[in-house]
Structure 1
Amino acid sequence: MRSPSGTAQRLSPVTKLRAPARAATGLPILATAVPVLGAVALWAVTGSVLSLWFAALAPMMAVAGFADRVWAARRARRRDDAVAEADSASLSAAIEKEVVRRRDRAWRAWPDIRRLLENPEEVWREVEGRQGHLVLGSGDIPITVAAEHVSDLRAEFAPEVAARTAGTPNLTMPDAPATVPLRGSLAVVGPEPLVAGAVRAMLVQLCLVHPPGDLEITGDLPGGFSWVEELPHRFTPGQHRIALDVSSGWDGPVGEVDASILIGRGGGAGVRVVLGQRATGSAHATVDTGEDSLEIRPQMLSEFQASLLARSLREKIPPTAMDSGELALDGLVEPHRASEPGAGARSLVSVIGTSNASAFCLDLVSDGPHALVVGTTGSGKSELLRTWVASLAAHYSPEDVVFVLADFKGGTAFSSLRRLPHVTGVLTDLDEAAATRGIESLRAEVRRREGVLAAAGVRDIAEGAADLPRLVVVVDEFAALLSSHSELANLFIDLTARGRALGIHVILGTQRATGVFREALLANCLLRVVLRAADVADSRLMLGDDSGCRVPAGVRSAGSALVRRATDHRPVPIRVALVGDEFVSRIAARSEAAPVQAPWLEPLPVTVALPGGRNDDTLLIGLADEPHLQRQEPVGIARSVRGLCVVGAAGSGVTTALQTVAAQIGEVEAWVDSDDLERAWDVLNRVAVTRRGAVVVDDADAVLAALPSEYAHVAAGLLETIARSSGEGHPFLLGLERLAGPIARVADLLPHRLLLRHSQRSDYLSAGGVPGHCDPTASAGRGRLDGTLVQVFQAETASRGVRVPNESTWRPPAGLTCWVTRATPGAERIQEQWLARDVVVTGPDHALAGGSPQALEPGRSLVVRAEPEQWQRFWTTLTTLRAQGPLLVDPSCAAEYRILTGRRELPPLCLPGALRGWLLEPGREVSRVRLG
């Protein structure tokens, strides 16, 4: 750990100054001995005893002088001690003043949370050295006071002061800020409540010092730290990044963060903060840097306090980005024409909002050339797209740029922009078929532009030689478009790959990026805008980091966005401007250009008459709509093919389509439908054997469904035989309502299929249709011929072919006739008619007389009537009578037909209740007759 002054922190006591030492005072031996020797010499010369008194006087004077000097020395010592005491007090006062000065300076340089809140002007104020440190709390910080820092001391004390203040900490600065450099990793360990409180204080401390844009809090938030989402530093990209981590370290890409706070894990950290609690309940912490340690009083915040401070910081964000309130586009740009004609060939610069208190511009040509916009519901994605289009329209004329707008989330996103002359068309999901058709037309637009550039002899629209405006395709809810038409993904990949040189730019908006944008699309769309990402995966896919998922939610923050261009190292926070109707009206009013023609043809008409004249090679079916080629031309099938299968619900135009093709054939050998099943059966049997021309079977599935099971099975085989024998100018035209069951095998034999409207999506898919082509609301005659959208031609009613001759009425001939029937109303009515014509009707028990048939008058008719069960009891009678005349079987006895007749082949179809029956005559084939 480093102290605020930058010196190593160690504790050292402060001691009092001492007075300088003085020389010791002794007796004057030589001065005393010389007078004594002189007195003795005088006494020896003069012999006078008085001279010896001089010898005694000298020691007395020496003792007196010594005593005087000792007393003077004591007085000087007391005086020096007093001076030293005063200087020590002065030194202490000077040192204390220096310590206080340094502590105040330290707190001003590195204020803690309390001091920052007491002085709001200090919040986010840039101070040299402040942003590079983190205040952990307060403590007694060792400092060094140099001799030059102490004034007003006596000169004799300066050497001692200098020696005591030379190079090592000698004093303690109490209650001073304890800081650590904001780099590397900082581990906070201890009891969980204390760790949480300390980390909350650290984060708030950092956010009070560093403004949004300077510091960014990244990483996954641990439990109890949801309040961090309220901090503007959480969703605003910053120059410095700090990560929260509950693991052993930051696991993101190397170099993505400047510092990390490890919660509850200390392994490998550069600085460890070990928290504890004293017996008094107060918290303390030991800061260990690996070189030395210091005990401090850490800052602590509750979750409630941290949340309040986070919200207050969020409210401090200036209204330049990430703030509430509406920002009008007309306050940033006034509609005007580009500086010179053709300016759009080189760039598409537009203002879309503000960033850092100034207008924020994007150049779709140089920053793009294509853009992806991601934003969850309510984030303002549609508003951004509208603003972008309106701003481009305000800067450039329709000769420079035109728009194709597609809205797949309700059809109202671009309704206000329809009046702009730049807008060639607005496609919506309210008319999904038209929208899809318009987007597919862009393929043809690509080829058209390639031809124009080739004719001009240039390779890029930026060269200015080609007279082409730039085309901007804007799609709102791209994911919704792909969900119903996944095949269009390749179209947009092709547009983004080839569009730059052709002047085609794509702006795609969606709620989710993951799973929607393919790699090939992402590689060509370098301009990314995120209003709010749904999760971290979307944010990293779009921006390269997780800042996109921290853009604040709610109506208050709508329009807050992050933009990342290819040249940006980190996303740029912006606030999107709103465009009003008045602004759009001014753009539309100032333009003198006529509305631009859409790059697609008008939709197919509801009815189209069959063109006149005969085509020897093709049977025309309808008018094809090929938006990818920007053309509508008649389309049909070759006359030499095997045939055509038309599938559609009732009223979808199946019969019309069959009539249209049949009318071009000329003579149709047979036309079969479900109106007359007996005739249909007869025709199928005849055509399957003697095929001479075209055959049309309408409602084939209904025909098979209406036939009895045995007949339906045989009929399906007959249809298959007819299909296999078709071709070479004799096509087989098959009409169905549902492609299911045995008829599906017949339909597979025909090379062409026309799918008209289906009431059920499952039926359409079963018929081989593409999910995106199913349109239950399509008009009659609108369908897909082998995948191509067509409107069937309408022709005059075609010939229905040769009809099977109607059966003549059969009555019992003269002689004996066996009749197998049940007691049905029809049988009773027929019997009454026969009795009225003098026909004798009797039972099998009266038919024989002596083992032979009854004798009849010439010309009389005898009908022996019985139910199948009775005939089986009179089997001998039946055998005898059958040799004498015909056997008539009513259709109600079809189950017993084979038993009573002995024939295994199916008889002609005969429907019960139709007054018909099967007639079996000796030596002839069974036939169907009408009774009367």
Structure 2
Amino acid sequence: MSIREFRPVPRRAAPPFPQGEIAFQEPPAIPEPVAGGLGQAVMALPMAASSGAMAMMFLQPGARATNYLAGGMMAVSSLGMVGMQMGRGGGDKKNKLAGDRRDYLRHLDQNRRLVRRHIDAQIKALTWRHPDPAALWSTAMSGRLWERGPADRDFAEVRLATGPMALAVRLAPPQTKPIEDLDPVSANALRRFLQAYKTIPDLPIAANLRAFARVAFDGDGPAARAVARALLTQLAVFHSPEDLRIAVHCGDNTRERWEWVKWLPHALHATEFDAVGRVRLISDSFADLERLLDPGDFRERGPHEPPGQNTVAPSAREPFTVILLDGGELPPDHRALRAGYRNAVLLDLTGAAVSPDVPVATLRLRASREGADAHLAAVTPDRAGGEDVNPLGRAATLSTAESSAVARILAPLRVPGVGESAGGRTGDISFTGLLGIRDARALEPAQAWQPRPNRERLRVPIGLTEQGLPAELDIKEAAQGGTGPHGMIIGATGSGKSELLRTLVLAMAVRNDPEILNFVLVDFKGGATFLGLDKLPHTSAVITNLADELPLVKRMYTALHGEMVRRQELLRAAGNYASLRDYEAARGSGVPLEPLPSLFLVVDEFSELLAAHSEFLELFVMIGRLGRSLGVHLLLASQRLDEGRIHALEGHLSYRVGLRTFSVAESRAVLGVGDAYDLPSTPGHGFLRCGTDPLIRFRAGYVSAPYVPPKAGEEIEDSGRHHVIRYRSSYLAPRVAPQAEAQEPEEEFASPPVSETTLQVLAGRMQGRGRPAHRIWLPPLATPPTLDALLPEAVAALTGGLPEPDPRATDYG
């Protein structure tokens, strides 16, 4: 397991928590009875009287039968008119009530949609702050790792259970008339609405452990331990080991339950080591834990203080400490059970009774098992000396396997020490740490060059992002999941451009076999950028000192152009393959083909090269156009960017790296924003832009640092033989090597000279290994050879004819 540093990213804003209140209208009232029946009848009397008078006219003595019929009809119509007038008031009342009821139910429906939106927001906010413990493995692999600090309100806050919770938004019922005066349908709808949304089921229920000195569990033992595992895992994922420590006090019969805690970086001592590494904060002696817990003396801390304005906040000097007690011997009057410790909490799984006279703040949780689910309840004393049991809901639990999986994800991560993030080379990123190499001198190329998944091919870390994660550069084309094949690096003097190029090339060499990747390294000004990289078996050519050598410039043009032609002819002759990708696929399927490595062409100070020899722009454009299919990857680097000269080439550059630039305009030309101009003056800070993806800020690795062998104690050796020791939670005394006769160390493992750098050590380990790269360039001849050195046969036989020239002879220019 390789240890790597992790720097927590600035915390992302959590989803907002809903606030405010929702007002309700008063339900409609029952309409007042209309003074109607008799009044309506009185209003109809004049018409009835007139109708009666006309009926009497028709019913005069001696009238015909038709007159009697007409009079009867007039009387009946008068009575009908009176009846209609009297019944009209009741119909209007019903119609008004129905309309008011319809409007009110529509109002409730609108509020229902609003409440549901607030419920969704509340669920999202709470599950973001307190995710399901079963999903913590994904949180541990994200930018949210160790996001909480002592200044955050949710520091040391953990999810206990999933249960009902009140709606965050207040539902404000209206002031109404007496219930007897309200429409019963509308009033009942309002009552059921308020009752339905009074609480929300299945929401995370959390507690802040800083408020308690002790959390005492009782009830079902396995369920209580599952809850405790979930609490410890949450604390480890969201809090940095710098701010929070985890310790376990257990007995011999319970130690195996908590073996997984040994993987947590929060449970490791800062400075003390044993035979397998840092001492684990797991012991059957509470006194030993008190001694190990802090850089100072844990016992000197004051009594427990709930968080407030005048309390001492957790810090690197006094981290918040979580002590789990399961089976260890602790007297009932021990301070941990009574007064507690400042910035510490005891998770007590012993099931011991909590005395009511204990002054310390204690949270009592009772675990129970109902079928497959564990449930949790809060227990508080009542006035009668009994207990009030308040169910919280379904407990947040984790199995030992789940907690161990999360702990193993966190195991290789460490917080940088003091001064490691400061300016200067004290803050340089460990190159070997980025690549997972424990000891550069022990690198085995054959093992490092083992076949990798296609995603890892031509993909290497070049530094660390602000989140503490590796900043990776993948020069494969986008169709293969990469960000290449061509790119550009711009950085002012002193920005670390040369060091970044060395880091990138060396990382590619460590990760890729010479049969997979070769290099052509060009430095127009003849600096020391690629010094020492010619030893790599991947290096096909190192071309320098071109500024004052016109013949060498022309020769380089010919060599690079010839390599492009050679690759085209090779693909055509091998089977008319359209691209190197097809060639490799055929070779992988068993077709007998020679390896054809990808070619990584790195040109430093390309702006000056184009300014002096503009014909190279045409060559670079050709490489940009054909390199994708021929397996040629181009990287152009310079201190300044001349936009006018590379206009035709810009469309082929898919990734760009901007270190500190001379001006805001140059930064915008490279990255699209002016941020690179504001980078610190410390070398190595930069931005990576891949296509349209967001900018990635990083700090580059440093391969020119002096090689430092691993610290003593990090690996156990005995008489030259390695011993496998099981990594356990208990203390393992360091093995003492037996005295042996002094002997000269083997040359391969002799102590390196002080001036030897990481680059030199790694290049030396790879030198002469693997298949040598195809040479497209030989160094120029500084001194012309003599005739007898070139043609010994001709000089020896002066009377004979000269031998035929060898068609394989190399042109030295």
Instruction: Tell me the TM-score range normalised by the shorter chain.
Output: 0.3 to 0.5
Higher relative contact order (CA 8 A, sep 6+): 2
Return the index of the structure with the highest Cα Rg.
1
Q: TM-score, normalised by structure 2?
A: 0.36
Q: TM-score, normalised by structure 1?
A: 0.31
